[in-house]
């Protein structure tokens, strides 16, 4: 795109400008208002999730069933994909295959151009975020308008989403008012003069702003929550109804769907429609669930395209430990429970998938070449709260540790590292009690030096970082090993 | 219930052995008071969690081998740490499998199956919840993530604490949220770690407790480090130390 051409849609900042996680968090941690918003929002939704899960007697069995269904899809993905393609084609859907984001974006742009369309309305979709579809369309002279309220706030605010389900979770209503007031008019119907920060007024402004876009658009773009392999049914789940407007008004619908989103039969869907809304919004049922089995004359889109997107997914599938991440149904329960996410929000993860799922999915989809992706598996305390809430039982902590191993291997394959040296040393020390005892001579010496004192801030590597906010009790003058020798040894082993 | 004099191998853990011997000492005294014969195999070191969780599997495998060598002969291995016991149970076999060492994997699976976190051993094996302890202080309990979610000790620590005479047990707000230690997390992501530890310390202070108790020294070191920096006067104490405390000999932390 030439820099002189005027943009059609608000220009977003780039994920690429965000430094690796340990650095990126510094700015996020300093935002008091954002931390308050996040604490409040995640706290509320956590409590709702617990209440809604508790209502279901066989919740744990449902989670197991969901994990098993998803794993079965992964094991036989080739068969299910071919089956789904045939069923969709038979029902009148045009099926496309995209190896990566570039191919998928090309397909969407070509369809739009063939239709003579220069703008599309969009249903909130993580797959299209993942491949940066909006920016690719913008470069082709096609405006892509987000219609989900939170995505609209993000788009108009020249911002990046910071949560899978609630992309504008980091914004409060006065910020939303400001964005609507200054930006809406540039890209369509302006916000009413004197709009307040009352949520009802803001929603009404968004509704009016979006209305002319809905009525004008000839083409909609969506993702897809599920595709039923044996019937070829595309399933889209949403909360606001804006999605349904996109699904019913335009003549053409293009859905970009990750290849892992298949389910074998419609019966399997029952499990997920119980788990997904309860895990994500804390609702018993999501307000809008749309099923499209091909094209029906006179009802809904008359030209339906489904783009089956790989974009790294087959690589994830080839990893026996990491592949469980492909079970993810994008509910964001793991984000909402994560104490790290709660404090730093989504942007610090440097990708559209933040939180625990972002920490395991991003580096697997994109690989480990970038420092940003190598930092993500360490953006967790391994507290395991995400394991417990995940409706498809993704073993987050196991995958995080597995990816850390891959990162460590990656780094040490390049050149020896300080960390590698420390770990090698620790490995030797911990390989035998005699080695440990010899090292404890040093801790005892320090103990004698500091005798009973606490150690405060110190300008030393690694420990210095720790001691910037915490004191440490001096080591004891006698280890347990010695105590035992003095007090118990003799009669026993 | 075990027969008196059952041999119990103590897994002291490297951090307790080196930094906080009062915890394994308390564990020894407690188990002996309950009629066990405690054995300490001196070959033992560590669960290998630091290396494993930082991604250095190769450097963690020798600790698995050493753990099996140290404890292989025992029917009961008891450790006063939910985190270390969890690592033995959840990671040792995985590491042996990664090293393609089938005999080690088999041995590690067997030994980890006989490894108990202290409160599991007391409640499930010895069948006691009242260990005859006395601790006349206001105490709040932090469940610790690995005890709660990896090792799944459940409410056993609370059952034991509630039976302690003289104790004034108060609920900790947001008790099940992580304190931000996470092993090398606190070094690799110090800023987030400090934010989390500070929130945890704030919740502890809000209880007006004299002591914060937990089943994992690493978490206590993290939260206690903040509490000390803040000159809050609140001390940390391990669960084993409270349970070892008696009317005849009240434990002083």
CATH code assigned at A301: 3.40.50.10420
In terms of domains, do B11 and B116 share one?
yes
Asked if A297 and A439 sit in the same domain, the reply is no
Q: Do A385 and B178 touch (CB under 8 A)?
A: yes
pTM, entire model: 0.96
The answer on B118 and B15 residing in a single domain is yes
Average pLDDT over residues A62-79: 98
B163-210 tens-digit pLDDT:
999 999 999 999 999 999 999 999 999 999 999 999 999 999 999 999
Q: Are residues B121 and B26 in the same domain?
A: yes
- Residue A136: how many CB atoms within 10 A of its CB? 19
pLDDT of residue A135: 97
Whether pLDDT at A200 is above 80: yes
What is the per-residue pLDDT for A3? 52
Helix (H, G, I), strand (E, B) or coil at A38: helix
Band (A493; pLDDT cuts 50, 70, 90): very low
Calpha distance A246→A254 (Å, rounded): 11
User: Which of B20, B192, B236, B238 is the best residue to mutate to test the A interface, defined by the most A CB atoms within 10 Å of its own CB?
Assistant: B192
Query: Is any Cβ of chain B less than 8 angstroms from the Cβ of A43?
Result: no
Integer Cα distance of B31 and A333 in angstroms? 41
Select from A255, A285, A314 the last residue of a domain.
A314
Q: What is the pLDDT of residue B253?
A: 73
B:122-181 residues touching chain A, CB 8 A cutoff: 145-146, 149-150, 176-178, 180-181
Closest residue, chain A, to B201 (C-alpha): A470
The residue out of B125, B149, B169 marking a domain boundary is B125
Closest CB from A406, A408, A462 relative to B54 = A408
A345-363: b (≥16 Cβ within 10 Å) or e: bbbbbbbbbbbbbbbbbbb
The C-alpha atoms of residue B71 and residue B7 are separated, in whole angstroms, by 12
- pLDDT (average), residues A430-440: 93
Domain with A266 in it: 15-20+57-314
Residue A70: per-residue pLDDT: 98
| Chain B touched by A22 (CB under 8 Å) | yes
- Residues B118 and B150 occupy one common structural domain: no
* Domain limit, last residue, from B93, B125, B157: B125
Query: Sorting pLDDT into bands at 50, 70 and 90, what band is A6?
Result: confident
- How far is it, in rounded angstroms, from Cα A130 to Cα A101? 8
Contact criterion met (CB < 8 Å) for A29 and B59: no
**Whether the Cβ atoms of residue A263 and residue A226 lie closer than 8 Å to each other:** yes
User: Considering the domain boundaries, does residue A382 fall inside one?
Assistant: no
Tell me whether residue B172 is in a domain.
Answer: yes
Give B228's contacts in chain A (Cβ within 8 Å).
454, 470-471, 473
Which of B6, B16, B18 to substitute to test the interface with A, most A CBs within 10 Å?
A: B18
Instruction: Name the maximum alpha-carbon separation found in chain B.
Output: 52
Q: Do A471 and B225 touch (CB under 8 A)?
A: yes
Whole-number Å distance between alpha carbons of A196 and A364: 44
**What is the chain A residue with the closest CA to B227?**
A470
List, for residues A363-395, the tens digit of each pLDDT value. 999 999 999 999 999 999 999 999 999 999 999
Q: Tell whether B253 is covered by a domain.
A: no
Q: Where are the alpha helices (DSSP H) in A345-432?
A: 355-366, 371-375, 385-389, 396-414, 418-429
Judgement on whether residues B147 and B121 belong to the same structural domain of the protein: no
The whole-number average pLDDT for the span B8-37 is 96
Looking at chain B, the whole-number percentage of residues with pLDDT higher than 70 is 99
Q: Domains in chain B: how many in total?
A: 2
Q: Are residues B225 and B146 in the same domain?
A: yes
pLDDT tens across B144-164, in order? 999 999 999 999 999 999 999
Q: What is the tens place of the pLDDT at every residue in A203-260?
A: 999 999 999 999 999 999 999 999 999 999 999 999 999 999 999 999 999 999 999 9
Q: What is the mean pLDDT of residues B29-47?
A: 96
> Residue B97 falls within a domain, yes or no?
yes
Does the residue A189 lie in any domain?
A: yes
Of A430, A465, A484, the CB nearest to B40: A484
B147 and B103 part of one domain: no
Tell me which residue of B8, B41, B34 sits closest to A485, measured CA to CA.
B41
Span B99-117, mean pLDDT?
98
Residues of B in contact with A465 (CB under 8 A): 186-187, 190
Share of chain A above pLDDT 70, in %: 98
Sign of CA dihedral A187, A163, A285, A93: positive
Does the pLDDT of residue A1 top 50, yes or no? no
Q: Do B60 and A427 touch (CB under 8 A)?
A: yes
Domain holding B78, by residue range, is: 7-125
Q: Is B45 close to A433, i.e. CB distance below 8 A?
A: yes
Task: Give the pLDDT confidence of A270-309 residue by residue, as tens digits.
Answer: 999 999 999 999 999 999 999 999 999 988 899 999 999 9
Are the beta carbons of B232 and A483 closer than 8 angstroms? no
Chain A interface disruption, residue of B14, B46, B55, most A CBs within 10 A: B55
Q: Are residues A310 and A436 in the same domain?
A: no
Reported as a pLDDT band with limits 50, 70 and 90, residue A463 is confident
Token pair of A398 as six digits: 């196991």
* For helices A396-414 and A418-429, angle between their N-to-C axes, nearest 10 degrees: 110
To the nearest whole Å, the CA of B54 is away from the closest chain A CA by: 6
Q: What is the tally of structural domains in chain A?
A: 2
Nearest CA of chain A to the CA of B181: how many Å? 7
A492 and B59 within 8 Å at the Cβ level: the answer is no
Same domain, B20 and B72: yes
Residues A179 and A303 in one domain: yes
- Closest partner residue to A382 (CB to CB) among B37, B53, B195 is B53
Q: Is B88 on the interface with A (CB under 8 A)?
A: no
Same domain, yes or no: B231 and B158: yes
Q: Are A88 and A222 part of one and the same domain? A: yes
pLDDT of residue A460: 76
The alpha-carbon gap from B166 to the nearest alpha carbon of chain A, in Å, equals 28
Q: Give the end of a domain, one of A291, A314, A337.
A: A314
CATH of the domain at B167: 3.40.50
Contact A436 B46 (CB under 8 A): yes
Residue B232 confidence (pLDDT) above 70: yes
Same domain, yes or no: B116 and B142: no
Residue A486's CB is within 10 A of a number of other CB atoms, namely 9
- Quote the ipTM score: 0.96
> For residue B75, is it within any domain?
yes
In a domain, A102, yes or no: yes
Residue in chain A lying closest to B18 (CA) = A479
Does residue A242 form part of some domain? yes
Asked if A472's CB is within 8 angstroms of B60's CB, the reply is: no
Q: Do B107 and B143 lie in a common domain?
A: no
Cα→Cα distances A474→A250, A418, A453, B99, B179, Å: 70, 25, 6, 37, 21
Residues in A 358-417 with any Cβ partner in B closer than 8 A = 377-385, 387-388, 397-398, 401, 403-409
Per-residue pLDDT reduced to its tens digit, A305-362: 999 999 999 999 999 999 999 999 999 999 999 999 999 999 999 999 999 999 999 9
Of A435, A456, A480, the CB nearest to B17: A480
The per-residue pLDDT for A459 is: 77
Measured CA to CA, the distance from residue B111 to residue B115 in angstroms comes to 6
**What pLDDT sits at residue B1?**
59
- Is A399 a domain residue? no
Which helix (H) or strand (E) segment holds residue A152: the answer is helix A149-156
Provide the 3-class DSSP secondary structure of residue A146. Answer: strand
Q: What share of chain A has pLDDT > 90, as a percent?
A: 88
**B31 lies in some domain:** yes
Q: Is residue B15 part of a domain?
A: yes
Phi and psi angles of residue A389, each rounded to the nearest 5 degrees, phi first: -95, -15
Which residue among B82, B103, B125 closes a domain? B125
Phi/psi at B236 (5° precision): -105, 150
At B68 the pLDDT is 98
Q: Are A331 and A278 in contact (CB under 8 A)?
A: no
Q: What is the reported pLDDT for A299?
A: 86
Tokens of A223: 């993702």
* DSSP summary character for residue B116: E
In the structure, what pLDDT confidence band is assigned to residue A491 with cuts at 50, 70 and 90?
very low
Q: Indicate whether B51 belongs to any domain.
A: yes
Q: Which is more confident, A423 or A461?
A: A423
Q: Which residues in chain B are contacts of A492 at CB distance < 8 A?
A: 37, 39-40
What pLDDT is stored for residue A82 in this prediction?
Answer: 98
> What are A143-192's pLDDT values in tens digits?
999 999 999 999 999 999 999 999 999 999 999 999 999 999 999 999 99
Mean pLDDT of chain A: 94
Looking at the fold, whether B23 and B54 belong to one and the same domain comes out as yes
Contact residues, chain A, for B43 at CB < 8 Å? 432-434
Has residue B249 been placed in a domain?
no
Tally of CB atoms within 10 A around A409: 14
Helices B57-71, A418-429: axis angle to 10 degrees equals: 10
Which positions 12-41 of B are in contact with A (Cβ < 8 Å)? 12, 14, 16-22, 24-25, 28, 37-41
A2 has pLDDT over 60: no
Single out the residue in A314, A337, A361 at which a domain terminates. Answer: A314
Instruction: Indicate yes or no: CB of A21 within 8 angstroms of CB of B189.
Output: yes
- What's the rounded Cα separation, in Å, for the pair B229 and A492? 42
Q: Does the beta-carbon distance from A426 to B51 stay under 8 Å?
A: yes
Q: Which of B58, B182, B191 sits opposite A29 (nearest CB)?
A: B191
């Amino acid at each position: 795109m030439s820099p002189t051409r005027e943009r059609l849609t608000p220009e977003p900042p780039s994920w690429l400008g965000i430094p690796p996680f340990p650095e990126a968090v510094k700015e996020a941690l300093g935002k008091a208002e954002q931390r308050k918003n996040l604490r409040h929002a995640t706290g509320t939704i956590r409590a709702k999730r617990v209440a809604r899960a508790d209502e279901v007697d066989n919740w744990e069995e449902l989670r197991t069933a969901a994990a098993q269904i998803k794993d079965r899809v992964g094991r036989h993905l080739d068969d299910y994909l071919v089956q789904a393609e045939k069923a969709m084609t038979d029902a009148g859907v045009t099926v496309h295959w995209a190896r990566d984001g570039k191919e998928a974006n090309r397909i969407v742009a070509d369809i739009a151009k063939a239709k003579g369309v220069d703008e599309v309305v969009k249903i909130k979709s993580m797959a299209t975020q993942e491949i940066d579809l909006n920016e690719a369309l913008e470069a082709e002279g096609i405006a892509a308008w987000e219609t989900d309220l939170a995505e609209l706030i993000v788009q108009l605010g020249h911002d990046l989403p910071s949560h899978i389900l609630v992309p504008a979770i980091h914004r409060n209503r006065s910020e939303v008012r400001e964005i609507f007031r200054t930006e809406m008019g540039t890209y369509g119907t302006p916000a009413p003069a004197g709009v307040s920060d009352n949520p009802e007024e803001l929603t009404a402004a968004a509704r009016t702003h979006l209305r002319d876009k809905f009525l004008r658009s000839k083409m909609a773009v969506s993702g897809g929550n599920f595709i039923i392999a044996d019937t070829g049914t595309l399933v889209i789940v949403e909360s606001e109804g804006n999605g349904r407007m996109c699904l019913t008004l335009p003549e053409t619908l293009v859905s970009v769907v990750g290849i892992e989103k298949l389910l074998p039969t419609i019966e399997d869907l029952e499990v997920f429609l119980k788990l997904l809304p309860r895990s994500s919004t804390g609702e018993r049922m999501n307000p809008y669930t749309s099923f499209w089995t091909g094209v029906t004359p006179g009802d809904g889109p008359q030209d339906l395209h489904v783009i089956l997107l790989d974009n790294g997914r087959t690589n994830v599938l080839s990893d026996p430990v990491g592949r469980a991440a492909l079970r993810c149904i994008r509910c964001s329960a793991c984000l909402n429970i994560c104490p790290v996410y709660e404090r730093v929000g989504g942007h610090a993860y440097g990708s559209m998938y933040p939180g625990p799922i972002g920490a395991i999915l991003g580096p697997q989809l994109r690989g480990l070449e970038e420092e940003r992706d190598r930092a993500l598996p360490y953006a967790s305390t391994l507290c395991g709260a995400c394991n417990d809430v995940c409706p498809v039982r993704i073993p987050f902590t196991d995958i995080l540790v597995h990816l850390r191993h891959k990162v460590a291997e990656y780094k040490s394959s390049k050149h020896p590292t300080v960390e590698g040296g420390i770990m090698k040393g620790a490995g030797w020390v911990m390989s035998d009690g005699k080695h440990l005892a010899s090292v404890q001579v040093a801790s005892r010496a320090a103990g004698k030096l500091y005798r009973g004192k606490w150690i405060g801030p110190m300008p030393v590597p690694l420990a210095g970082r720790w001691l910037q906010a915490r004191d440490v009790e001096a080591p004891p003058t006698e280890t347990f090993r010695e105590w035992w020798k003095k007090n118990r040894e003799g009669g026993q082993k | 219930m075990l027969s008196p004099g059952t041999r119990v191998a103590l897994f002291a853990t490297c951090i307790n052995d080196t930094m906080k011997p009062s915890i394994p000492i308390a564990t020894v005294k407690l188990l002996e008071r309950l009629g066990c014969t405690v054995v300490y195999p001196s070959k033992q070191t560590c669960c290998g969690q630091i290396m494993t969780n930082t991604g250095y599997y190769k450097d963690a495998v020798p600790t698995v081998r050493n753990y099996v060598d140290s404890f292989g002969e025992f029917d009961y291995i008891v450790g006063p740490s939910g985190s270390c016991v969890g690592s033995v149970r959840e990671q040792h076999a995985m590491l042996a499998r990664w090293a393609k060492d089938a005999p080690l994997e088999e041995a590690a699976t067997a030994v980890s199956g006989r490894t108990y976190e202290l409160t599991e051993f007391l409640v499930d094996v010895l069948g006691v919840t009242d260990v005859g302890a006395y601790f006349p202080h206001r105490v709040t309990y932090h469940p610790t993530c690995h005890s709660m979610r990896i090792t799944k000790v459940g409410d056993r620590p609370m059952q034991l604490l509630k039976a302690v005479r003289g104790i004034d047990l108060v609920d900790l707000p947001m008790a099940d949220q992580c304190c931000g230690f996470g092993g090398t997390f606190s070094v690799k992501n110090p800023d987030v770690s400090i934010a989390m530890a500070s929130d945890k310390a704030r919740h502890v202070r809000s209880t007006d407790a004299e002591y914060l108790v937990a089943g994992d020294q690493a978490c206590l070191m993290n939260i206690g480090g903040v509490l000390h920096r803040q000159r809050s006067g609140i001390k940390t104490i391990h669960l084993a130390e409270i349970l070892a405390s008696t009317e005849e000999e009240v434990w002083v932390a």
